[in-house]
Amino acid sequence: MLQIQQDLLSALRDELEKLSPGAGDKAAFESPKVAAHGDYAVTAAMQLAKPLKLNPRAVGEQLRAGLLAQPAFGRWVEAIEIAGPGFINIRLKPEAKQQVVRDVLQAGAAYGRQPERTVEQGQRLMVEFVSANPTGPLHVGHGRQAALGDAICNLYETQGWRVHREFYYNDAGVQINTLATSTQLRARGVKPGDAGWPEAAYNGDYIQDIANDFLAKKTVKADDREFTASGDPDDLDGIREFAVAYLRHEQDLDLQAFAVKFDHYYLESSLYTSGRVEAAVNRLIANGKTYEQDGALWLRSTDYGDDKDRVMRKSDGSYTYFVPDVAYHIAKWERGFGKVINIQGTDHHGTIARVRAGLQAADVGIPPGYPDYVLHTMVRVVRGGQEVKISKRAGSYVTLRDLIDWTSKDAVRFFLLSRKPDTEYTFDVDLAIQQNNDNPVYYVQYAHARICSVLAGWGGDVATLADADLAPLDTTAAQALMRQLAKYPEMLTGAARDFAPHDVSFYLRELAASYHSYYDAERILVDDERVKRARLALVAATAQVLHNGLAVLGVSAPQKM
């Protein structure tokens, strides 16, 4: 079906060029708002009417006549109709629509995937996500970021990109010092509410757990580090290293429960120890992009669209938080990542302009607009009709693992990917565990399981269905389902381009709805062998696309429910 669409689009492009040289780039198919109007709509006639000084309908008639003479249209198109002021509606022959079933069954898990990009096209992509400071377990906001980042990685892999997943964490600075002193106080028997407990300290019960294990001289191991506690409450440096390793281990467990893996963990501290921060600052100074004022070093970020210049080095000699970010992104570029996507909370919005300004001022060949950002809002959690409050320092926030334990990994992923990243979202725990059509992940997974049940009831070899005679798939219900299957590749491309994994969840719900409607409209295991095999081929293809789409979201496709 995709090849048919490409052949028809090429023919349309040729005809538009004949009408008006240079107009071939206007060749595009749209989906008619009303399915009865056809399979494709073309609006180019209205766009060309003014430059050609013709009535749009007259342009449409000329275009229609040219398209009818094109071999691809003769083979695959049943009718071309002019509607309204110049819309061209194209109606495909049944065999053209049915081709998508063969495409899916032949491609299997590869259906919708694009060929691997060449080096010339730019194929190395880094997605940085989660990047939680090792000061506590991952909360629900980190969960949203993990779901988004992993799904965006999966989307870009379907488009032929080689994707590198990276976790950047702040293992230096004020927050880590607060973690260490909070743990040390707990190790000495001081707790929240006691005299001498700092207002800025971390109050969660997990701090006491860290302190207890430190006093017990335990060894903790994370993906990137291992440390054995000395057990000495006066050993602040040891407490700091132990606490970071302890929480990195806890975060590893959270990510494992969420089925998220990273290719690399990048330490903020390494930017200082390797000299990258100092090198980036010296480069900006040498390029004349900084100035001294009030004892501080400033970046001329207004030269690059920022609303005001930004302090890089404060009067006390410490760097502001965006400076290591600039050094880090120069490192990303030097490591060969021509495209970078950062998944961060909306509280990082102010960082974007100053990081990009620093990268342009560094003048190392990085293009404007590098890196891309996807910003997400936090998540409200409702359970039993009541909001569960999130308060990290009070220790009463909902962790990602809490949410998985209350529901499931699949439900958490699907729910967190069901809205645009920058929209507020309320996670309803009670809805996520319901086994009915109100629960979107259940609705989609049940469609897949329902098909698997039909195929099991048939008992044949699904591979043989690729050669089935599909002519019986000429009913309205069958055509509606095939139309949905045909949308999948283009949907993936658009979702990757727009950083929009929620488009996948919307699509899967629509596909599941089309299947449920088809199942209610037509019996599949009928006596007529030809009809039965055609219908089995259609539902087997539907199961494959449901499986493929769920995999992009990191959600399972169960065979039984």
pLDDT average, residue stretch 354-376:
97
- What pLDDT sits at residue 393? 38
Average pLDDT over residues 349-370: 96
Length of the chain: 561
Mean pLDDT of all residues in the chain?
A: 94
pLDDT tens digit sequence for 461-487:
999 999 999 999 999 999 999 999 999
Alpha helix positions (H), 289-389: 322-334, 349-362
Question: 24 Cβ partners below 8 Å, 6+ apart?
Answer: 13, 14, 16, 17
% of residues, the chain, pLDDT over 70: 98
Q: What is the pLDDT of residues 321-351, one digit of tens each?
A: 899 999 999 999 999 999 999 999 999 898 9
CA–CA gap between residue 448 and residue 485 (Å, rounded)? 14
Q: Among 48-62, 99-113, 350-364, 517-531, which is the least confidently predicted range?
A: 48-62
**What is the mean pLDDT of the segment spanning 142-146?**
95
pTM: 0.91
- Tell whether the model's pLDDT for residue 495 goes beyond 70: yes
Domain boundaries, the chain: 2-92, 174-240, 436-553
Buried b (16+ CB within 10 A) or exposed e, 61-73: bbbbebbeebebb
Question: Is CATH 3.30.1360.70 what the domain over 2-92 is classified as, yes or no?
Answer: yes
State residue 390's pLDDT score.
57
The pLDDT-based confidence of 455 (bands split at 50, 70, 90) is very high
- Give dist(CA 278, CA 312) in Å, integer: 11
Residue 408 pLDDT exceeds 50 = yes
Nearest to 269 by CA among 236, 244, 238: 244
Q: What homologous superfamily is domain 436-553 in, according to CATH?
A: Isoleucyl-tRNA Synthetase; Domain 1 (1.10.730.10)
Count the neighbouring beta carbons within 10 Å of the beta carbon of residue 157: 17
Q: Tens of pLDDT along 219-246?
A: 999 887 899 999 999 999 999 999 999 9
Q: Is 159:496 a contact under the CB 8 Å cutoff?
A: yes
Q: How confident is the model at residue 120 (pLDDT cuts 50, 70, 90)?
A: low
Name the region of 86 (left: φ>0; alpha: ψ -120 to 50; beta: rest): left
Cβ atoms 524, 532 nearer than 8 A:
yes
pLDDT band at 292 (very low <50, low <70, confident <90, very high): very high
User: If you average pLDDT over residues 170-178, what whole number do you get?
Assistant: 85
In the prediction, which pLDDT does 122 show? 67
Amino acid making up residue 506: F
Q: 374 CB contacts (<8 Å, ≥6 apart)? A: 148, 152, 341, 342, 343, 344, 421, 499
Pairing of strands 310-313, 296-299: antiparallel
Look at residue 392 in the predicted model and tell me its pLDDT: 45
Of the listed ranges 169-173, 342-346, 389-393, 550-554, the one predicted with least confidence: 389-393
In this predicted structure, the answer to whether residue 417 has a pLDDT above a threshold of 70 is: yes
- Looking at residue 21, its pLDDT comes to 93
Give the pLDDT confidence score for residue 69 in this predicted structure.
95
Q: Which residue has the higher pLDDT, 509 or 84?
A: 509
In the predicted structure, residue 443 carries a pLDDT above the cut 70: yes
pLDDT value, residue 513: 98
pLDDT at 395: 58
The average pLDDT across 446-451 equals 98
Q: In the predicted model, what is the mean pLDDT of residues 491-519? A: 98
Residue bearing the bigger pLDDT, 297 or 121: 297
Residue 401 CA to residue 387 CA, distance in Å, equals: 17
| E strand segments, 59-105 | 77-83, 87-92
- Residues 352-372, mean pLDDT to the nearest whole number: 97
**pLDDT score at 394:** 39
> Is the CB of residue 422 less than 8 Å from the CB of residue 376?
yes
Examine the pLDDT at 121 and tell me if it is beyond 90.
Answer: no
Decide if 561 contacts 446 (C-beta within 8 A): yes
pLDDT of 398: 83
pLDDT score, position 396: 60
Q: Is the pLDDT of residue 505 over 70?
A: yes
Three-state secondary structure of 158-203: HCCCEEEEEEEECCCCHHHHHHHHHHHHHHCCCCCCCCCCCCCCCC
Q: What is the pLDDT of residues 49-92, one digit of tens each?
A: 889 889 999 999 999 999 999 999 999 999 999 988 888 999 99
pLDDT digits (tens, 9 = 90+) for 257-281: 999 999 999 999 999 999 999 999 9
Query: Helix, strand, coil proportions of the chain in percent (round to 5)?
Result: 55, 15, 35
Q: How far apart are the first and last CA of the chain?
A: 32
d(CA 413, CA 436): 18
- Answer for the pair 183, 211: CB distance below 8 angstroms, yes or no: yes
